[in-house]
Structure 1
Amino acid sequence: MARRGKNMLKRGNMEHYRIVKEVIDNWDPKPFLHYTPEDEYDPEIRMIVELLPTVTSVENLAVRIHEVFVKMFSVDEVFAIPNCFPIALEIYSKIKDLKSENQTSN
């Protein structure tokens, strides 16, 4: 039996992926998107989405975003935890809003 790639997103994570992609692409931390394909940050976005079930707070998400980008791009001031906090807050808030919407529609 063939094993699916570990970066394959589960169906339930597609909304989370969309949210994270929108926020990360708008952030464009390495100003790549004006001259690279729009999927430039997709590996990092997938990694962040895979970590979301273990995230317990905005602060924790900021640390996880920092870790992902440092791992993928090495150390950079752009990826300092304080710089990741507004991005984490936006992602966390949008996902929380999505969960609230889903609960009220059920």
Structure 2
Amino acid sequence: MREKVAKIINDWDPIDLFPYSPKDEYEIEIELISELLHETTDLEHLANDINTIFIKRFGDDVFNRGYNECLSVAKKILAAKK
């Protein structure tokens, strides 16, 4: 599942780091999100946690994608889990 989360997050590229950054730039965030999937399958909870992870890691001045984008990413992750 971790590989699926990695593809979704890297394709999303929430900080617009690619193609200039290494492909493992979001490894910590991917790991944290993958761990969350052991705890919840609730869409809104996952979206809030994704939003929180990126704000804590990058700050809200850098990560400003908002809840609705996190909700969309959470939907993709949960769909990939099935």
TM-score above 0.5, yes or no: yes
2:43 paired with 1:58: yes
In structure 2, the residue matched to 1:77 is 64
TM-score under structure 1 normalisation?
Answer: 0.71
How many percent of aligned residue pairs carry the same amino acid?
35
Matched with 1:47 is: 32
Deviations 1:36-83 (A, max 9, x none): 1000000100011111111131111101101110110111321x2112
Alignment size in residue pairs: 80
Q: Which runs of 4+ in 1 moved over 3 A?
A: none
Is the 8 Å Cα contact of residues 51 and 67 (structure 2) preserved in structure 1?
yes
TM-score, normalised on structure 2? 0.90
Kindly indicate which of the two structures has a greater share of residues assigned to helix: 1
Match of 2:2? 17
Q: 1:37 aligns with which of 12, 22, 27?
A: 22
CA RMSD of aligned residues (A): 1.0
Return 5+ residue gaps in structure 1 as ranges. Answer: 1-15, 97-106
Q: Distance in 1 between matches of 2:10 and 2:40?
A: 21
- Structure 2 portions without partners, runs of 5+: none
Q: Which structure has the greater CA radius of gyration?
A: 1
Instruction: Tell me which of the two structures has the higher relative contact order, counting C-alpha pairs closer than 8 angstroms and 6 or more residues apart.
Output: 2
